[in-house]
A and B are shown apart, each in its own frame.
Chain A
C-alpha cells in the first residue's frame, strides 16, 4: 500500500515523491542505524587512520581511524532530530503565534511582535549559546535553544501573510456563516498562508543541522565522540587534504536539506489547488 502511494505521488508530483522517498529513507536509516552500520561509530583504530575509501571502509576513516560510513549512519540519528524537529517545532510555534498576532491586529499585534523581535535582537548563535548554557548543556536544552532562536522568523513571515489574507472576503464570509475565530484562523487563513512559510522551513533544515553542529563544536549539544554530521564536517575542514572526512557527512547534510526542499516545494504545489491534480 505504501508502495502504491509513493508510485501515485511520483506520477502526480515528482518533487514531493522524491522528497518523501529521500526523507523516508533517512528516517529508516536513523531508526535502524545500528543494523546498517558495519563498525562501531566511536571505535578508534589508529592503524587505519586517514585511510581513503576502499572495500573495508566504504567512506574511508578519519584521523582517529573511525569508520566514516558507520559514523554517517549513526550520525543521522542526532542530525535528523536536530534538523527536522527544531524546524518543525519552530515552524509550529512561530506560524501559530504570527497568525494570531496578524489576525487580532492592533495593540495585541504590536505587543506580540515587539516581544518576538526581542529574540531577533541577539545574534542567533550567541543567544542559543546563552540559553543552552544557562539551562545546562544537554541535547534537549540545545534543541530548545535552537527553537527559541528560530521561531520569530516564522512568526514574522506568517503575520504579514495573515494580515493580507484576512482582508479577503472569504474570511468575512466565514464570520457571517458563524465560524469561530479559531476556526477562521486555522481553517480559512492558515491554509492560504502556509506555502511561503513551508518553503522557508525547508530551507532552514540544512541551516539548523549546521547550527546544531556549531553548538556541538562549542561543547553544547552532543559531546565529541558522538557521531554528528556537522561536527564531522568540521573535522574534515581541519584535515582538508583527506577529502573524504568532510565530504561524506557533507553529502548527507546536502541530501537531507535537498529532500526537505523537495518536500517543501512539492507541498506548496500540492496545497495550491491551481496546480494540483492530486
Chain B
C-alpha cells in the first residue's frame, strides 16, 4: 500500500516519456572534502516521477531545492549519484554512451539566463547553425541558413537577426533565440529551466504564450521548472512540488491549486500575490530558512518549518502516497487520512 508512486497507475495510461526512479544527486568536493570536512550536498535526494508524453509538467520549489539539478539530470548534464533515469524505458546514460547525438535530438533545454546561454562571441546565425552543423553535416550552408531563418520566424524573430550578435538583442529576443535553438532538432521534450524568471513581466507573458503555442503545435513534452507559481499554473498540466531535494506533492494543476495536500504547498500557494486588493487572504508565513541541503533534518524535511507539525514528523520520513486520483503527497497528515481511504476519496 505504501509503495511509492510508480508508472502503473490507472490514470497515467498516457505513454511515459521520462521516468525517474529514486534518483539521487549528491555533490561533493572530491578528496578536498576530506580536508575541509564539508559533507555532500544532497541536491536531489530520491526523486521518482514520471513525465508523460505530450504533457507539460511543472516543477516548483524554492531556490536551492534541487529543481534545476533534477532538470539537468534528465538531460544527462549531471550524472545521477544513484537511481535510474529512463527515457522511453531506456537508461539515458546508456543512450548517451551509445548514441549521444540521437539522444540530444530527443531532449533539449531552454536556459534561465538568456544573455549567458548564447555565446557572446558568436553571431545568432552561427549559434542557430550549430545544431545543424553537428547533427546534419550534409546540409549546405545555404540550407542551414534557410532553416535557421525559418526557426527564428517561428519564434517571432526575423531572418535579419541572424547577422546580429547576442548583445545587440533584448532579453526577450535572446530567450526567443534560445527557444529556436532548442526547437532546431525537432525534439520530443524540452526542459525549461526557469525560462522566464530573468525577463520583464511583460516579456514573460509573451515567452510563456510562445512556449504554449509551440507545445501545442509540435506536441512537445515540457518539463517546466520555475519558482513562480503563477507561471507554472499557466503552462502546466501536472505540477510537482519540491522541497530540499524531495518531491513533496504531485497533482494535476487545478487539484494542486485548489486542494493542496501538503502544508508546504499550502504555504507556497498562500504566498502568491493576488491582484484584487479587497480580497482578504490568509498568508501562511514559514518560519526560519531553508535548512542546508548538506545536512537535511531527520524525519520529514519540512518539519522544522511546518505550521502543522506532528510528533511523528521529526522521526519518520513520510512516503509519497496517493491521496486522490493522480494526486500524491508526502505528509503524515495525509497518511492519517489514508487510514480511512473513504474520507479522502
User: Which residues of A are interface residues toward B (Cβ below 8 A)?
Assistant: 106-107, 168-170, 172-179, 183, 188, 191-192, 271, 273-274
Contact = CB atoms under 8 A, between A and B. Distances in A.
Given A176-B75, A191-B121, A273-B120, A169 B113 contact: yes
Interface stretch (B129-137, B224-232, B273-281, B298-306): B129-137
A173 B117 contact: yes
B61 interface: no
A191 B119 CA distance: 9
B104 interface: yes
12 contacts: A107-B30, A169-B113, A169-B116, A170-B116, A172-B111, A173-B109, A174-B130, A176-B182, A177-B130, A177-B134, A177-B181, A273-B120
Interface in B94-139: 100-101, 104-105, 108-109, 111-113, 116-121, 123, 130-131, 134-135
The 5 closest A-B pairs by CB, nearest first: A178-B104, A169-B117, A273-B165, A170-B119, A169-B116
Contact of A192 (B31, B100, B121): B121
A177 B165 CA distance: 19
Given A106-B30, A169-B117, A177 B167 contact: no
A209 B99 CA distance: 51
Contacts of A188: 119
Contact of B167 (A106, A168, A176, A274): A274
A273 B185 CA distance: 27
B77 A175 contact: yes
Given A106-B30, A172-B111, A173-B178, A178 B135 contact: yes
Interface string B64-78: 000000001001010
Contacts of A183: 134
B117 A271 contact: no
B232 to A, nearest CB: 21
A247 B135 CA distance: 59
Interface string B146-160: 000000000000000
Nearest to A174: B130
A168 to B, nearest CB: 5
Given A176-B77, A191-B119, 17 more contacts: A169-B112, A169-B116, A170-B118, A172-B72, A172-B117, A173-B117, A175-B77, A176-B108, A176-B109, A176-B182, A178-B131, A178-B134, A178-B135, A179-B130, A183-B134, A273-B123, A273-B165
Interface centre among A106, A169, A191 (most CB of B within 10 A): A169
B111 A169 contact: yes
Nearest to A194: B121
Nearest to B120: A273
Nearest to A177: B131
Contacts, number: 66
Contacts of A174: 119, 130
Interface of B: 30-31, 72, 75, 77, 100-101, 104-105, 108-109, 111-113, 116-121, 123, 130-131, 134-135, 165, 167, 178, 181-182, 185
Interface of A is mostly: helix
Contact of A173 (B100, B111, B135): B111
A176 B182 CA distance: 9
Nearest to A271: B121
Contacts of B104: 176-178
B85 to A, nearest CB: 15
Contacts of B77: 172, 175-176
Contacts of A172: 72, 77, 109, 111, 117
Nearest to A276: B165
A187 to B, nearest CB: 8
A180 B77 CA distance: 13
A175 B108 CA distance: 10
A170 B112 CA distance: 11
A248 to B, nearest CB: 41
Q: Which of B123, B134, B185 has the most chain A CB within a 10 Å cutoff?
A: B134
Nearest to A179: B134
A273 B167 contact: yes
A271 B123 CA distance: 12
A107 B178 CA distance: 33
A203 B189 CA distance: 50
Nearest to B104: A178
B191 to A, nearest CB: 9
Contacts of A271: 121
A177 B100 CA distance: 10
A121 B233 CA distance: 60
